[in-house]
């Protein structure tokens, strides 16, 4: 049996191997399934090449249908195809993936030739992958502190490159978005000339006052009204119609089944009533009544969720209800269009030109704060969350604070299971500190590698998948007026959540037990602070190596193969789609990408790579491999499979780009703490100057180009 020290030293390598083998097998299985099914299941793996719900201009050229002969044609399709034939968001998402690959690959080229020799010869006594990290530098040997100059200057080169790339991509985005918004494809839309004003004071909820504010440039004004009654009636009408449709189809299927059975047995249609089937119902002329009894007709209960209340015949009851609901819904809609319902503080104003709409969007419309604001331009009716328009400004403020408080509490709550994941990833260190865990010494090394490598990575991925659903609900509660704004809210909130949970809690949770004991020693011997920081912070780098392996191999292969989605689609299409309408809807509607939950995952991967670029440079390689695999998987899906349901008009991109500053700041602060605690004053000062430089660059960028990220300048209109 290996000693405790040897077990700790080998943990990084065995954990990496134990993670690589099963994830590689799973990825190969997924990829093989994709290659085989792609040839026959065209609806699921290449619907954008032919499906009728897309216009010809939105379709993608068809690939060869062989097992492997499509690779060349797929490679030749440019990413700009997504820009021309799908959406700005889709293209910018692919560009973000490419930019992430550039950051991680260039990071390897910068850090490895400099830091690997410095770390390997650092004299820290580490073994395995830990020998490649900052922790292997021993400040106690002669010239040990001088080695940190290499880390400091490497940080300047790499983080300077990242900052340059952020600036470059922001400028590229500004030029691209301006060209897109000014193109005839977009500028001819009514939404490009329409501005939504929320929290409009009651004195301005009339056309005369609004025209007086915005002048002759106004073409049309739509003042929204309370729509709860209309929505309730329309919803009830539609549900009743769908229930009638389902019942009619079910009745036809039952009658056809009985007819086939009767024909098979040689029973004449005229004998069905005589053979104990009971009297034919009042609608004796119907074909179904000739084959089934009234007891077999579709029924439902009128109470809560169809589980309680009186049991009624679905067809007769639905027809009676529709005779009542259709006129009532139409009358309510007429009253709504006539403006008979209570006005709510949401106004849509269409201007004569796009330039006049942009001017109104950027102007300060009201003399009181939070009135006629926030404003939104380019929103389509399908994107509007109509119930949010009735929320007054003061209630939005309160709701926003409640949502922030809830998310904060949620972060604290989620820290417990995420910290447990971090602790499991470092179980070998716990075995040294707590004797009651000694029984784990009997566990074979490969199994221990799975426990410390694969299990925490998979658990963390599953745990984080639950968060976006809650974040979107919080966005709607806070009063966001459109689904695109909900996605942008989710993108910000989910990224903040990931910074705390995926990085901070996992890092502290993994180093916490050992750190606690070392802090006791520091209280007795303050000089040990150097060893504590330099040895504990680099350790989670091995966990993220495994995490990126799981993400890059299994998750990327799963994204490409869509095995789970394919099975669900086939089950729902064949067994749960009970009507022709449901079959068509399921067939014609393509799966959509939820940008608010997808983008932060990859932003966090890049941020982790940035944070550990100098501390544990090997992380960059695994992040680069993961992003390459994700890029290929998402590129195929965007070009051939998915559709854009919620369009942010590219606004997801600058947010994701600027969020990379989070990784840069954390990395620089950690380096200052690590190097400073080691007693290397000048290298710490060099990194501190880099931090100041980063702050100035960030401030300058916000001051210079922030308005251009979200507005169209008048000089272009």
Please provide the DSSP assignment of 680-698 as one string.
Answer: -HHHHHHHHHHHHHHHHHH
pLDDT score for 517: 60
For the cut 80, the answer to whether the pLDDT of residue 527 exceeds it is no
For the cut 80, the answer to whether the pLDDT of residue 247 exceeds it is yes
HEC-encoded secondary structure of 621-649:
HHHHHHHHHHHHHHHHHHHHCCECCCCCC
pLDDT score for 510: 56
Contact (CB, 8 A) for 118 and 166: no
Select, from the ranges 268-282, 426-440, 644-658, the one with the highest average predicted confidence (pLDDT).
644-658
* Stronger pLDDT, 227 or 278, i.e. the higher one: 227
At residue 527, φ and ψ (nearest 5 deg) are -65, -15
For the cut 80, the answer to whether the pLDDT of residue 112 exceeds it is yes
Assign 541 a pLDDT band (cuts: 50, 70, 90): confident
Interior CA angle at 659 toward 91 and 364, to 5°? Answer: 85
As a whole number, mean pLDDT of residues 600-620 equals: 93
Least confident range of 105-109, 303-307, 314-318: 303-307
Least confident range of 84-88, 148-152, 279-283, 289-293: 279-283
Q: How do strand 194-198 and strand 311-313 relate by DSSP bridges? A: unpaired
For the cut 80, the answer to whether the pLDDT of residue 333 exceeds it is yes
For the cut 70, the answer to whether the pLDDT of residue 274 exceeds it is no
For the cut 60, the answer to whether the pLDDT of residue 178 exceeds it is yes
As a whole number, mean pLDDT of residues 250-258 equals: 86
For the cut 50, the answer to whether the pLDDT of residue 285 exceeds it is no
As a whole number, mean pLDDT of residues 76-89 equals: 92
pLDDT score for 2: 43
Assign 512 a pLDDT band (cuts: 50, 70, 90): low
Q: What's the N-to-C CA distance of the chain in angstroms?
A: 75
* Stronger pLDDT, 306 or 390, i.e. the higher one: 390
Assign 146 a pLDDT band (cuts: 50, 70, 90): confident
pLDDT score for 658: 94
Q: CA-CA distances (angstroms) from residue 678 to 135, 137, 140, 156, 521?
A: 11, 10, 10, 19, 16
Least confident range of 99-103, 310-314, 591-595, 634-638: 310-314
Q: Which residues contact 196 (CB under 8 A, 6 or more apart)?
A: 346, 347, 348, 375, 376, 377, 379, 384, 481, 482
Q: What is the pTM of this model?
A: 0.87
* CA-derived radius of gyration, the chain: 31
Contact (CB, 8 A) for 68 and 35: yes
* Tokens of residue 491, six digits: 């993108």
For the cut 70, the answer to whether the pLDDT of residue 277 exceeds it is no
What burial class does residue 280 get, using C-beta atoms within 10 Å of its C-beta: 0-12 exposed, 13-18 middle, 19+ buried?
A: middle
Least confident range of 143-147, 227-231, 533-537, 702-706: 533-537
As a whole number, mean pLDDT of residues 204-230 equals: 92
Q: CA-CA distances (angstroms) from residue 145 to 152, 399, 456, 535?
A: 12, 52, 35, 15
Taking the C-alpha atoms of residue 654 and residue 648, their distance in angstroms, rounded to an integer, is 11
Least confident range of 71-75, 507-511, 622-626, 691-695: 507-511
Q: Which residues contact 325 (CB under 8 A, 6 or more apart)?
A: 233, 236, 237, 240
pLDDT score for 535: 57
Assign 493 a pLDDT band (cuts: 50, 70, 90): very high
* Domain locations along the chain: 4-183+394-709, 200-225+342-373, 229-337
Q: Which residues contact 328 (CB under 8 A, 6 or more apart)?
A: 233, 237
**Residues counted in the chain:** 717
Q: CA-CA distances (angstroms) from residue 634 to 93, 102, 546, 550?
A: 9, 17, 21, 16
For the cut 50, the answer to whether the pLDDT of residue 387 exceeds it is yes
Average pLDDT, the chain: 85
Tens of pLDDT, residue by residue over 589-600, are 888 899 999 999
For the cut 70, the answer to whether the pLDDT of residue 392 exceeds it is yes
* Stronger pLDDT, 229 or 284, i.e. the higher one: 229
Assign 496 a pLDDT band (cuts: 50, 70, 90): very high
Q: CA-CA distances (angstroms) from residue 119 to 23, 130, 133, 531?
A: 29, 9, 6, 15
Kindly list the strands in the beta sheet with 218-225, ordered across the sheet, starting from the edge strand earlier in the chain: 218-225, 343-351, 194-198, 375-377
Least confident range of 10-24, 67-81, 175-189, 594-608: 10-24
For the cut 60, the answer to whether the pLDDT of residue 627 exceeds it is yes
Percent of the chain with pLDDT over 70: 87
- 403 secondary structure, DSSP code: H
- 499 secondary structure, DSSP code: I
Taking the C-alpha atoms of residue 70 and residue 79, their distance in angstroms, rounded to an integer, is 17
Q: Which residues contact 701 (CB under 8 A, 6 or more apart)?
A: 166, 167, 170, 658
Question: Which residue, among 485, 637, 633, 469, has the nearest Cα to 551 in the 3D structure?
Answer: 633
Taking the C-alpha atoms of residue 211 and residue 220, their distance in angstroms, rounded to an integer, is 10
Which neighbouring-strand residues pair with 123?
Answer: 137
Tens of pLDDT, residue by residue over 348-360, are 999 999 999 999 9
3-state class (DSSP) for residue 310:
coil
pLDDT score for 563: 81
Prior bond of 267 cis (ω within 30°): no
* Stronger pLDDT, 6 or 371, i.e. the higher one: 371
Assign 345 a pLDDT band (cuts: 50, 70, 90): very high
């Amino acid at each position: 049996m290996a000693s405790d020290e040897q077990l700790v030293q080998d943990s990084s390598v065995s954990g990496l191997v134990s993670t690589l083998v099963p994830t590689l097998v799973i990825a190969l299985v997924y990829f093989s399934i994709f290659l085989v099914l792609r040839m026959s299941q065209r609806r699921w793996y290449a619907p954008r090449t032919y499906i009728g719900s897309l216009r010809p201009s939105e379709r993608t050229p068809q690939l060869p249908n062989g097992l492997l002969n499509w690779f060349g044609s797929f490679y030749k399709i440019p990413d700009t195809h997504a820009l021309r034939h799908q959406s700005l968001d889709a293209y910018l998402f692919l560009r973000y993936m490419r930019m992430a690959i550039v950051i991680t690959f260039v990071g390897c080229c910068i850090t490895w030739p400099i830091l690997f020799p410095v770390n390997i010869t650092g004299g820290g006594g580490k073994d395995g992958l830990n020998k490649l990290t900052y922790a292997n530098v021993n400040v106690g040997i002669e010239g040990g502190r001088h080695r940190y100059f290499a880390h400091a200057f490497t940080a300047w080169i790499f983080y300077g490159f990242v900052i340059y790339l952020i600036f470059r991509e922001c400028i590229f985005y500004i030029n691209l978005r301006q060209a897109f918004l000014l193109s005839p494809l977009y500028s001819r839309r009514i939404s490009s000339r329409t501005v939504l004003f929320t929290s409009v004071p009651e004195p301005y909820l009339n056309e005369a006052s609004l025209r007086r504010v915005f002048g002759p440039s106004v073409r049309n004004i739509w003042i929204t009204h309370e729509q709860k009654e209309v929505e309730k009636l329309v919803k009830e009408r539609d549900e009743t119609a769908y229930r009638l449709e389902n019942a009619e189809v079910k009745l036809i299927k039952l009658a056809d089944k009985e007819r086939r059975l009767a024909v098979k047995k040689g029973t004449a249609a005229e004998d069905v009533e005589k053979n104990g089937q009971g009297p034919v119902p009042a609608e004796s002329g119907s074909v179904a009544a000739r084959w089934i009894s009234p007891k077999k007709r579709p029924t439902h209960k009128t109470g809560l969720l169809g589980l309680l209340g009186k049991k009624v015949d679905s067809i007769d009851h639905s027809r009676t209800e529709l005779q009542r609901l259709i006129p009532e819904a139409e009358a309510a809609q007429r009253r709504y269009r006539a403006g008979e319902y209570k006005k709510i503080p949401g106004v849509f104003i269409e201007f004569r030109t796009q330039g006049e709409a942009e001017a109104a969007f950027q102007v300060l419309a009201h003399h009181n704060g939070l009135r006629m604001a926030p404003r939104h331009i380019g929103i389509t009716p399908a994107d509007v969350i109509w119930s949010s328009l009735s929320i007054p400004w003061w209630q939005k403020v309160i709701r926003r604070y409640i949502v922030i408080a809830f998310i904060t509490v949620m972060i604290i709550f989620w820290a417990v299971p995420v910290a447990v994941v971090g602790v499991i990833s470092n179980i070998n260190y716990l075995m040294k500190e707590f004797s009651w865990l000694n029984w784990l010494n009997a566990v074979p090394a490969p199994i221990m590698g799975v426990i410390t490598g694969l299990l925490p990575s998979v658990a963390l991925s599953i745990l984080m998948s639950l968060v976006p659903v809650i974040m979107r609900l919080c966005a709607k509660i806070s009063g966001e007026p459109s689904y695109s704004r909900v996605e942008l809210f989710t993108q910000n909130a989910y990224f903040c959540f990931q910074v705390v949970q995926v990085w901070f809690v996992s890092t502290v949770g993994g180093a916490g037990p050992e750190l606690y004991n070392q802090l006791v020693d520091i209280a007795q011997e303050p000089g040990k602070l150097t060893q504590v920081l330099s040895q504990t912070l680099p350790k989670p780098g091995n966990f993220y190596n495994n995490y990126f392996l799981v993400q890059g191999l299994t998750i990327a292969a799963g994204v490409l193969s869509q095995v789970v989605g394919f099975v669900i689609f086939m089950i729902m299409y064949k067994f749960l789609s009970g009507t022709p309408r449901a079959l068509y809807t399921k067939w014609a509607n393509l799966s959509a990408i939820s940008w608010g939950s997808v983008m932060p995952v990859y932003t966090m991967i890049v941020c982790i790579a940035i944070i550990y670029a100098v501390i544990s440079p090997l992380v960059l390689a695994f992040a680069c491999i993961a992003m390459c695999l994700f890029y290929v998987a998402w590129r195929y899906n965007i070009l051939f499979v998915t559709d854009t349901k919620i369009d942010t008009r590219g606004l997801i991109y600058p947010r994701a780009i600027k969020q990379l500053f989070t990784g840069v700041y954390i990395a620089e602060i950690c380096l200052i703490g690590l190097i400073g605690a080691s007693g290397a004053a000048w290298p710490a000062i060099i990194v501190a100057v880099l931090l100041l430089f980063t702050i100035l660059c960030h401030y300058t960028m916000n001051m210079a180009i922030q308005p251009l990220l979200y507005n169209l300048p008048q000089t272009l209109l």
